[in-house]
Structure 1
């Protein structure tokens, strides 16, 4: 008897809870060799190719293209190695609520009729527990009736815990004024992640300005030197954040699974705009690096993101991201923290303004607007102010950007 084994949705990162099948490269009946592409998984951060580890034949596609399922869900079955599921024998799901969306995959059929299979997102399940609601009977508005967080919220508001009365409009319903355009799997994942981030992370914001006349002068001097790559203002901001993290390690931590995780290395994310949306790769191990090293790594990583060749591990880690909107003539921006990170720095454009000098006379200044968003579970206002002021000091006294970590600590 041929033995079929499960192909599971892999866990591709510390915080990954679900993934979307964006492509099956093989069909049932196709044979593969080690290294051959099986399927592509999209998360809110990146698309990842999943390859075969051994020879085998795909027998069944359980999760079709476009469907989002939790980590560990059976997405297909093949004759290659894996968790053995003998063909034509009963398949017992330890967690039926988190398994495949197709109830016919459970055998025998007679038993499946008595079992209740509820397909819901992880956030919907958590909200249902918080509101004391039963998912059984709720009508989901997602693909194949999947219950989403907004369905649970609507049920909670209506006081419906065991009825099917809540029926939100389908995602693809046309409007009177236009045509609905299906969102890509990555766009859907990013949208879910941003909603969850805003709802689950208690943000607070601090806004300030940095006087950057000396910074612009220093950047001009450095860029005038032969044999070096040109530095951008974003490079200088990244270096300022690195210098601040080097001397305030209490801000190089995150809140994850009800625990505080302290990072030893200094990693900083940067927002990069692509045709697939806004992505935030993380530049790794920057402690003690000079301006040119940090800028070089940033430029290289940005190019990989734009080309779509960035590695999965470069989309993870770090406690803070820099999001720069200055090129769009935006004075300030209040960004959303990218979980599980604990902070994000929004950078605005440089404005020329008159401020009174020490003698009360108007003085022309060039100021950059900064907004720091921080996770209140980890940081309080006083500590975040210290961290933001460290960044501002480095920008306003830009020669600090060229100093080593040891010199900064002595200062």
Structure 2
């Protein structure tokens, strides 16, 4: 009896995948673990293996086709490969018709002469009854300016086009709200400079410290480590943190696993390796683990702050701006030079309210302002 091989769901928010390449053909026998085809999402390419032994009967979707999750892509003699089927999308409603332009009163001769001379009658007041335009009124009309040639559209590659579509959907459907705070990074930056001056010490960056602070804040508030999933909250295991990475292929947000449980030195090494894989186009399925929070640091580009968009399938994203030198009064009121950065947390209002988001952001800032604790391995629970 023939079974179906289905398009698998490779992430919490995946609804479709690009069948990039077939590795088998009809009539070929396969065993468990043999690669059947390659699926590309907007993030990574994944090889899909046979769940058992069987013979490929038919390929139902060609290479290059975009296939909904749960739809059959092939028939074979093995058992059906289980994958959740998605409900068909509701048909699009036709857009309301545009209102008809106002009727222009003009004599037939005036209309014919206007067409021949390339004149625009709109806005012209005629001398006839009720402003009717006559042939004698035409010298007053002005020929419309020739339209500028349209700019050539720049086609997007599949990854950028999919990312644009999904972020547009996220901005429409996720009820965003934002909280902002300043973080005093004076002690942290001084400690980092001292650390990086040590012979043989691995280089630490502000992004490393931000990842550690975000991970530890999540570990200390596990009740906020959740996402929205079909009218319910879905708790996530592990204080994993996504990191926005600019690559030649576009912007990616791979996930640093267990960011809230790693010593800072180990976290830095793992983060550097993650960024290298992203820029080389070598991210794995494990690099795209579910996470509730992503970090986007644009401070190195000189931006004062960033108001980001929550990534699909997540509930928070932290935007970080450039470090600025500012004078603040000390306990005696004397001005003291401090180094601060603006943090903006965008959150999904279905998952967090304003008070919870503000407390979380305050927790991140407090961790950054006590940098010596970052050099110690985090205690259980953050």
Q: Which residue of 1 aligns with 2:28?
A: 31
Q: Pick from 351, 366, 380: which aligns with 2:324?
A: 351
For residue 349 of structure 1, give the secondary structure of its aligned residue in structure 2. Answer: coil
* Deviations 1:164-207, CA, capped at 9 Å, x for gaps: xxxxxxxxxxx943434443332232222212211121111112
For residue 301 of structure 1, give the secondary structure of its aligned residue in structure 2. Answer: helix
Q: Which residue of 2 aligns with 1:363?
A: 336
Is the 2:257–2:289 contact (alpha carbons within 8 Å) kept by the matching residues of 1?
A: no
Q: CA RMSD in A?
A: 3.0
Q: Which residue of 2 aligns with 1:18?
A: 16
Q: Distance in 2 between matches of 1:266 and 1:60?
A: 43
Q: Pick from 275, 278, 299: which aligns with 1:302?
A: 275
Determine whether 1:177 maps to 2:150.
yes
Q: Distance in 2 between matches of 1:408 and 1:351?
A: 32
State the Cα distance separating 1:333 from its structure 2 match: 0.8
Q: Distance in 1 between matches of 2:159 and 2:55?
A: 28
Structure 2 alignment gaps of length 5 or more:
99-147
State the Cα distance separating 1:32 from its structure 2 match: 5.9
Q: Which residue of 1 aligns with 2:45?
A: 47
Structure 1 pair 245/60, CA: closer, same or farther in 2 (3 Å)? same
Q: Pick from 253, 262, 273: which aligns with 2:226?
A: 253
Is the 2:184–2:340 contact (alpha carbons within 8 Å) kept by the matching residues of 1?
A: yes
Q: Which residue of 2 aligns with 1:138?
A: none
Spell out the pairing of 1:314-353 with structure 2 (5 A cutoff).
Answer: 314-353=287-326
State the Cα distance separating 1:218 from its structure 2 match: 0.7
Determine whether 1:76 maps to 2:74.
yes
Task: State the TM-score, normalized to the length of structure 2.
Answer: 0.76
Is the 2:264–2:377 contact (alpha carbons within 8 Å) kept by the matching residues of 1?
A: no
Shifted more, 58-67 versus 213-222: the winner is 58-67
Is the 1:246–1:405 contact (alpha carbons within 8 Å) kept by the matching residues of 2?
A: no
* Deviations 1:109-135, CA, capped at 9 Å, x for gaps: xxxxxxxxxxxxx4xx2xxxxxxxxx2
Is the 2:214–2:260 contact (alpha carbons within 8 Å) kept by the matching residues of 1?
A: no
Spell out the pairing of 1:9-408 with structure 2 (5 A cutoff).
Answer: 9-25=7-23, 28-29=25-26, 31=28, 33-34=30-31, 35-53=33-51, 60-77=58-75, 79-83=76-80, 98=88, 122=89, 125=90, 135=91, 152=92, 155=94, 157-158=96-97, 176-403=149-376, 405-406=378-379
Q: Distance in 1 between matches of 2:248 and 2:47?
A: 19
Structure 1 pair 264/74, CA: closer, same or farther in 2 (3 Å)? closer
Structure 1 pair 324/33, CA: closer, same or farther in 2 (3 Å)? same
Residues matched between the structures, number: 329
Question: Which has the higher Rg, Structure 1 or Structure 2?
Answer: 2
For residue 321 of structure 2, give the secondary structure of its aligned residue in structure 1. Answer: strand
Report which structure shows greater RCO (CA 8 Å, sep ≥6). 2
Q: Which residue of 2 aligns with 1:132?
A: none
